[in-house]
Amino acid sequence: MKRWVLCREFHSRAEAGIVRQLLLANGIESYLNSDDCGAVDPALAFARGVQLFIGEEDVALAEEVLAAATDDVARSGAPE
């Protein structure tokens, strides 16, 4: 059975979804958890955020992927 660990927390489901897709494109399974009534009331996510969970065995690869993406944004001059 896969052991899931918290990877990151976000202020919105949209932001979390972008990172989730980046991880998926690199072969990393993940899921989002948010107390926003199943996306019916997104404002509720502001209170508790949106959590992105990954498999424990993927932590090192996920950190590498996310660091590379952050470096790409920094080099482009775009705001993070």
Pairwise CA distance, residues 56 & 35, whole Å: 23
Total residues belonging to the chain: 80
Pairwise CA distance, residues 5 & 2, whole Å: 10
pLDDT of residue 45: 60
**12 pLDDT band (50/70/90 cuts)?**
confident
With contact defined as beta carbons under 8 Å apart, do 68 and 19 qualify?
A: no
Residue type, 50: V
- Among residues of the chain, what percentage have pLDDT more than 90? 59
